[in-house]
């Protein structure tokens, strides 16, 4: 609640009127001066008339009139007239919501009134300054100036203005969430007005009291206050006042679902307005809008539309575009609830144009935010994000801090829905800072609740509870029942997920008690539903059903579609737990219809999922399949509209359970009907659930999507890249000196914000790219397509899908498919962990035999008979991505000794089988590069490197080095020590010796730098070899990369870090990229995408195959492996997969290197041909 506009207008108008009528016109002055004073009076009148026309053009003309009056006052040397004119100009800017400019004029007026010793004019200026600060959300300053004004009004016995000032002070306290102080201020106002017998003013204050009681959930006190106000207006025969109160009362009845009573009151309001004046079209339009709102809330959309159209027609007759825009903003809700999103958007866009014509930036921002909400409901999250950001930009420009914070909160929630929980929480933290700056405790509590919800969605329940408890404490202090109930419901969800059902029940009971105490049927229905959930957890299904039925009854009583949908969800779950499947499905179907009605796309998908689960539970698998496919179709539609690859990835990760259910369902159907091809459909579903963003990235790579894009966007992209570099330099400066944890955290937050801007800009480039628009979404391959386009006679695909209850493996050859049921993911993950722990141990004597056999028994033994000596394509899942299959034990009944799988098989790892097909399309018709090999090795990492001669690195130069900063960052995040790798030089020399001098390029020492790595000349080589350190940043994969020389020949620092986003921008059509560095095959493990790291960057740049490592490798052993690998490729003409296998087997057979730690880390990803 901002300072009441009616009060501002009342006090300002009164002050302006007094100022205008009391503008000093001295007696006995010469005609010339008399004429000047008359001109000022005329200018004031003309300006006021122009302001009343309420358009930007006329308002600007009014300002010009006032400016002329101001110039005259200066020429006359009349300080009193100048003070009056300054005050009037400030009021004009305040009326246009330009409060910063208004402040300038009010402060000038204040200074003159102080000099002239005019206390009332001084107090009015102080009051107006306070009001400007209140609108600018500088609430403490507003209170300071209001109190100064109050003191003067009291000393001057201006009692009516004392009362008004108490009222505005109360509103500021209400905005700050200081409810007790707000009520106290209102009561002081009322006491003065009663003492003065100022009944009209009493009515205004009672109306304000009613509003605050209503916000606090004190419905009866609110009604009492409003009815007292209504009686006063009736006694005074104040038609407008009666009508306003009747409208306020109707709002309260709408909130409680009593639409008939609400309409009755509104029709009374309309009747008395029309009786008083048939020409008061403005008030009639407002009442028509309110009537439309009651029908909208009731779900009678045609009636709502009729009233909105009447209101719009009146606004057009009145030539009030601002009113028409407000009508349209309400009208769009009708189209929204009818599911006609396009019409809703068209209506909002018309409203936006009207606000633009008035230069009403606040109104335009509000409409943009609503447009974003429609797109969000429509499932077009990218368009929603774009519009939220446009609204935010305007709100920041006009310094509307609270609305900017609310919009940021909407953005944070959108990130939550998209599964990007880290960015969501970071954005909520920005929201928190703004509301803490403003001092709005209610919004601080709401933000705590929202962060709790994000942690709940991310399954971090302990953190969720921590934030919910902070929110709960604040809500209780503020006396906000609604916030307290919603936070308690969040607590119920968290405890339910933790299986602490007694605590969940206690929180549900607290929420229910509050709702019943306040007689709020919506919250009562909600709390009953969650109490039912707690009883389900406790195993008391009959009690859960009884509570769910009560919830449904209360929801029907309230009438809200949302409340009824939620209650039906609880009812369906209650029947589901009682195994009354048909009744559960009936409830879910009713819920689905309501979710469709309100346009809740994600909710529809979730309800379809619940129906599918119920159909499966009663063994109606085909019906379950129909429902889950409908759910996935909705989610796929949402996903493809997101142009930000990062957000598309995170969203896809958040909906993986739908695919997991679908795959499991198809495999259960296969078990029942093994000849019907359900296993092939399950494999195709698994391909749909794997590495989709990578497929799209690779398709996009060939399109050169930056062609045809606005050059300003490309310049902005370059600018952001430079900002990222500059930020890294600042980080280095911080970390090379003394710093606090808060400084480090602040810099991390800034990095996150900049990275998010970079991601959004990339999304915008895609959105506006003609070439991107022309791209068709690549479709994952079917079984037949995999067999035809990917496999050959000597190759076997092993594709895994890990699940909660059971996992699956498909073995696909050129002519057959066989599927296997494997243990659940937890069992496989535990075996993987044991195996990997032994593998990555640098202790040479560590033997993987038992762990390798245990894991092989789980994931390979079932398919042992199919393996033969074929090449194996491995599409791993989750934990399986972290282990080299080459080091697994060969599953054989006749051999109890450890024998690595690599002994009999070439092994290639893939994000998905479909990836190979896209890679092959990318290189079809591409001519091989003319030269053989480029090796970038043995860079300079340290200022103390012996290769830097006669140079002492200054602290200043050190602080300029982006890459040294990356060292400190990687030291913290990856525990990698950036020391020289002495064997890489020997490795590089040996490799280069295998290639004729005219077909090779070497870049050692200082030359192993970023400039060489990004030089277009590198595209002339078929193989690119990096022998250096790698950095893995799981928190921000974009900051992963390869470390090159950090110093030049003179010892000056240089940018030597090749980050992932740099790699994406390379043109590198090499046949093979080798990253002979630590953990280059790892990355952020994202459900549905796999490991997001350097591999996909080099594939995007043009290389169809990349050799990477899965752990920090031994320098000497890696050197030995690489010599053997290249020797077999270049001297024996083996293909990379075969060469890697031969090199690894040879290392295993050498007693010096037979520990898998020394040879098994490297895996080949991508194309093997």
Under the banding of pLDDT at 50, 70 and 90, the label for residue 964 is: very low
- Token look-up 């801090």 returns 401
Sequence-ordered list of residues with C-beta below 8 angstroms from that of 676, at least 6 positions apart, any chain? 669, 670
- Token look-up 């999922």 returns 609
Mean pLDDT within 930-957: 74
Contact 245, 229 (CB under 8 A): yes
Least confident of 252-261, 465-474, 995-1004: 252-261
Q: CA 1057, CA 1062: separation in Å to the nearest integer?
A: 9
> 1-148 has which CATH code?
1.25.40.10
- Give the residues across from 22 on adjacent strands: none
Q: Give pLDDT, residue 733.
A: 54
Average pLDDT, the chain: 84
Q: Is the pLDDT of residue 824 over 90?
A: yes
- Which of these CATH numbers, 1.10.4100, 3.30.420, 3.40.50, 1.20.120, describes 783-913? 3.30.420
Q: Is the pLDDT of residue 4 over 70?
A: no
* Domain-wise residue ranges, the chain: 1-148, 601-676, 711-774, 783-913, 926-1113
Closest CA to 1081 of 1101, 1106, 1109, 1103: 1109
Q: Summarize pLDDT for 165-220 with one digit per residue, the tens.
A: 999 999 898 888 777 788 899 999 999 999 988 888 889 899 989 888 887 778 88
Mean pLDDT within 522-551: 94
Which residue blocks in 775-908 are alpha helix, DSSP H?
Answer: 783-789, 825-839, 849-859, 864-867
Under the banding of pLDDT at 50, 70 and 90, the label for residue 973 is: very low
Under the banding of pLDDT at 50, 70 and 90, the label for residue 490 is: very high
- Give the residues across from 1004 on adjacent strands: 937
Q: Using alpha carbons, list the distances in angstroms from residue 60 to 70, 108, 131, 971, 1010.
A: 15, 21, 22, 60, 56
If one compares 924 and 893, the residue with the highest pLDDT of the two is: 924
Q: Summarize pLDDT for 833-860 with one digit per residue, the tens.
A: 999 888 887 665 567 788 899 999 999 9
Q: Summarize pLDDT for 748-770 with one digit per residue, the tens.
A: 777 777 777 777 777 777 677 76
Q: CA 172, CA 881: separation in Å to the nearest integer?
A: 57
Q: Return the CATH class of domain 601-676.
A: mainly alpha
Q: CA 53, CA 711: separation in Å to the nearest integer?
A: 42
Q: CA 937, CA 1005: separation in Å to the nearest integer?
A: 7
If one compares 787 and 440, the residue with the highest pLDDT of the two is: 787
If one compares 1128 and 240, the residue with the highest pLDDT of the two is: 1128
Q: Is the pLDDT of residue 1026 over 80?
A: yes
Q: Summarize pLDDT for 446-486 with one digit per residue, the tens.
A: 999 999 999 999 889 999 999 999 999 999 887 788 889 99
If one compares 768 and 154, the residue with the highest pLDDT of the two is: 154
Please report, rounded to a whole number, the percentage of residues in the chain having pLDDT higher than 90: 45
Which residue blocks in 439-500 are alpha helix, DSSP H?
Answer: 441-457, 461-478, 481-497
Q: Using alpha carbons, list the distances in angstroms from residue 770 to 279, 764, 822.
A: 54, 12, 46
Closest CA to 690 of 658, 667, 656: 656
Q: CA 1085, CA 832: separation in Å to the nearest integer?
A: 15
Q: Summarize pLDDT for 1046-1055 with one digit per residue, the tens.
A: 888 877 777 7
Sequence-ordered list of residues with C-beta below 8 angstroms from that of 116, at least 6 positions apart, any chain? 79, 80, 83
Q: CA 607, CA 66: separation in Å to the nearest integer?
A: 62
- Give just the sign of the alpha carbon dihedral 745, 747, 751, 756: positive
Mean pLDDT within 682-690: 88
DSSP string, 466-482: HHHHHHHHHHHHHT-HH
Q: Summarize pLDDT for 295-353 with one digit per residue, the tens.
A: 888 778 899 999 999 999 999 999 999 999 999 999 999 988 787 888 999 999 999 99
Q: Give pLDDT, residue 757.
A: 79
Under the banding of pLDDT at 50, 70 and 90, the label for residue 703 is: low
Beta strand 1083-1086 with 807-812: parallel, antiparallel or unpaired?
A: unpaired
Q: CA 365, CA 349: separation in Å to the nearest integer?
A: 12
- Token look-up 């934990």 returns 879
Please report, rounded to a whole number, the percentage of residues in the chain having pLDDT higher than 70: 87
Q: CA 977, CA 970: separation in Å to the nearest integer?
A: 8
Q: Give pLDDT, residue 717.
A: 77
Q: Give pLDDT, residue 892.
A: 73
Q: CA 553, CA 547: separation in Å to the nearest integer?
A: 10
Closest CA to 90 of 80, 101, 82: 101
Q: What are phi and psi of 285, to 5 degrees?
A: -65, -40
Q: How many CB atoms lie within 10 A of CB 889?
A: 25
Closest CA to 752 of 450, 426, 1031: 426
Buried b (16+ CB within 10 A) or exposed e, 1046-1077: bbbeebebbbbbbbbbbbbebebbbbbbbbbb
Strand locations in 333-425, DSSP E?
Answer: none
Under the banding of pLDDT at 50, 70 and 90, the label for residue 775 is: low
Contact 451, 425 (CB under 8 A): yes
């Amino acid at each position: 609640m901002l300072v009441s506009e009616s009060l501002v207008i009342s006090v300002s108008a009164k002050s302006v009127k007094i100022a205008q009528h009391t503008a000093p016109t001295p007696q006995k002055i010469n005609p010339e001066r008399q004429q000047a004073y008359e001109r000022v009076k005329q200018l004031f009148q003309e300006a006021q008339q122009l302001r009343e026309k309420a358009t930007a053009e006329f308002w600007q003309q009014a300002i010009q009139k006032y400016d002329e009056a101001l110039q005259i006052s200066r020429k006359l040397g009349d300080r009193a007239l100048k003070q009056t004119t300054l005050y009037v100009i400030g009021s004009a800017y305040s009326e246009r919501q330009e409060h910063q400019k208004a402040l300038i004029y009010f402060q000038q007026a204040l200074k003159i009134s102080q000099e002239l010793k005019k206390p009332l004019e001084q107090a009015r200026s102080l009051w107006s300054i306070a009001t400007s600060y209140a609108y600018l959300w500088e609430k403490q300053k507003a209170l300071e100036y209001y109190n100064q004004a109050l003191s003067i009004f009291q000393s001057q016995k201006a009692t009516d203005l004392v009362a008004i000032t108490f009222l505005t002070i109360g509103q500021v306290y209400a905005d700050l969430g200081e409810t007790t102080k707000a009520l106290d201020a209102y009561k002081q106002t009322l006491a003065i007005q009663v003492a003065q017998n100022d009944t009209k003013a009493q009515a205004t204050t009672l109306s304000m009291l009613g509003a605050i009681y209503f916000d606090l959930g004190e419905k009866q006190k609110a009604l009492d206050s409003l009815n007292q106000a209504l009686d006063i207006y009736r006694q005074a025969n104040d038609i407008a006042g009666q009508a306003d109160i009747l409208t306020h009362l109707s709002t309260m009845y709408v909130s409680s679902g009593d639409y008939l009573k609400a309409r009755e009151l509104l029709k009374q309001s309309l009747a008395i307005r029309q009786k008083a004046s048939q020409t008061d079209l403005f008030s009639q339009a407002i009442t028509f809008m309110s009537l439309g709102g009651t029908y909208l809330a009731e779900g009678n959309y045609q009636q709502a539309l009729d009233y909105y159209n009447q209101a719009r027609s009146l606004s057009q007759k009145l030539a009030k575009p601002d009113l028409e825009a407000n009508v349209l903003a309400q009208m769009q809700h009708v189209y929204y609830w009818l599911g006609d999103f396009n019409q809703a958007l068209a209506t909002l866009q018309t409203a936006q144009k009207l606000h633009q014509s008035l230069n009403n930036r606040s109104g335009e921002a509000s409409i943009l935010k609503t447009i974003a909400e429609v797109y969000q409901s429509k499932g077009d999250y990218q368009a929603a994000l774009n519009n939220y950001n446009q609204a935010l930009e305007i709100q920041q420009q006009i310094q509307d801090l609270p609305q900017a914070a609310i919009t940021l909160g909407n953005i944070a929630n959108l990130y939550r829905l998209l599964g990007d929980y880290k960015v969501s929480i970071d954005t909520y933290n920005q929201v928190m800072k703004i509301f803490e700056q403003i001092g709005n405790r209610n919004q601080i509590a709401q933000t705590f609740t929202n962060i709790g919800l994000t942690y709940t969605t991310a399954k971090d329940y302990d953190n969720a509870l921590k934030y919910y408890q902070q929110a709960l404490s604040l809500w209780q202090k503020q006396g906000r029942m609604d916030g307290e109930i919603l936070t308690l419901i969040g607590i119920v969800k968290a405890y339910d997920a933790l299986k602490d059902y007694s605590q969940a029940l206690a929180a549900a009971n607290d929420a229910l008690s509050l709702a019943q105490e306040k007689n709020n049927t919506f919250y009562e229905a909600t709390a009953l539903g969650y109490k039912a959930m707690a009883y389900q957890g406790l195993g008391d299904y009959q009690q859960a059903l009884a509570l769910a039925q009560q919830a449904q009854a209360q929801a029907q009583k309230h009438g809200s579609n949302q409340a009824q949908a939620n209650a039906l969800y609880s009812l369906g779950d209650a029947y589901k737990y009682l195994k009354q499947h048909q009744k559960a499905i009936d409830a879910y179907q009713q819920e689905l219809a309501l979710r469709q009605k309100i346009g809740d796309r994600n909710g529809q998908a979730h309800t379809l999922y619940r129906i599918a689960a119920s159909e499966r539970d009663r063994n109606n698998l085909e019906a379950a399949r129909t429902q889950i496919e409908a759910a996935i179709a909705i989610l796929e539609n949402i996903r493809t509209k997101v142009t930000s690859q990062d957000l598309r990835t995170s969203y896809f990760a958040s909906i993986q359970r739908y695919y997991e259910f679908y795959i499991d369902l198809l495999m259960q159907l296969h078990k029942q009907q093994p000849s019907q091809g359900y296993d092939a459909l399950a494999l195709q579903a698994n391909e749909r659930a794997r590495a989709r963003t990578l497929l799209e990235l690779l398709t996009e790579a060939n399109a050169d999507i930056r062609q045809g894009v606005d050059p300003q966007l490309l310049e902005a992209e370059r600018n952001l890249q430079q900002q990222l570099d500059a930020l890294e330099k600042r980080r280095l400066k911080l970390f090379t000196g003394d710093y606090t944890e808060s400084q480090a955290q602040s810099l991390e937050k800034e990095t996150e914000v900049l990275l998010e801007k970079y991601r959004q800009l990339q999304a915008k480039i895609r959105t506006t790219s003609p070439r991107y628009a022309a791209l068709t979404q690549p479709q994952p391959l079917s079984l037949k397509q995999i067999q035809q386009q990917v496999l050959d006679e000597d190759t076997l695909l092993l594709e895994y899908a890990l699940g909660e209850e059971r996992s699956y493996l498909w073995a696909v050859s050129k002519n057959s498919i066989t599927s296997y049921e494997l243990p659940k993911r937890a069992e496989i993950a535990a075996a993987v962990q044991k195996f990997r722990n032994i593998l990555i141990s640098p202790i040479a004597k560590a033997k993987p035999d038992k762990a390798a056999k245990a894991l092989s028994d789980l994931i390979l033994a079932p398919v042992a008979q199919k393996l033969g000596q074929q090449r194996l394509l491995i599409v791993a899942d989750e934990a399986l991505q972290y282990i080299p299959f080459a080091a697994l034990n060969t599953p054989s009944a006749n051999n109890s000794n450890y024998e690595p799988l690599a002994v009999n098989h070439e092994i290639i790892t893939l994000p998905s089988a479909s990836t190979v097909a896209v890679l092959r399309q990318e290189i079809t018709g591409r001519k091989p590069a003319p030269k053989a090999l480029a090796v970038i090795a043995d860079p300079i990492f340290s200022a103390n490197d012996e290769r830097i001669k006669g140079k002492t690195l200054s602290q200043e130069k050190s602080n300029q080095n982006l890459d040294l900063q990356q060292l400190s960052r990687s030291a913290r995040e990856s525990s990698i020590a950036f020391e020289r790798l002495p064997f890489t030089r020997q490795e590089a020399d040996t490799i280069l010796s295998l290639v004729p001098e005219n077909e090779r390029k070497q870049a050692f020492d200082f030359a192993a730098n970023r400039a060489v790595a990004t030089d277009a000349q590198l595209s002339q080589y078929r193989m690119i070899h990096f022998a250096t350190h790698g950095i893995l940043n799981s928190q921000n994969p974009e900051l992963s990369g390869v470390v090159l020389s950090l110093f030049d020949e003179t010892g000056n620092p240089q940018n030597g870090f090749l980050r992932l986003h740099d790699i994406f921008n390379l043109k590198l059509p090499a046949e093979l990229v080798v990253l002979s560095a630590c953990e280059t095959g790892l990355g952020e493990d994202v459900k549905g995408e796999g490991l997001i790291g350097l591999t996909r960057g080099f594939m995007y740049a043009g290389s169809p195959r990349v050799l990477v490592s899965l752990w920090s490798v031994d320098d000497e052993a890696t050197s030995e492996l690489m010599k053997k690998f290249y020797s077999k490729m270049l001297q024996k003409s083996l293909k990379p997969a075969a060469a890697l296998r031969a090199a690894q087997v040879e290392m295993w057979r050498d007693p010096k290197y037979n520990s898998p730690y020394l040879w098994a880390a490297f895996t080949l990803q991508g194309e093997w041909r």
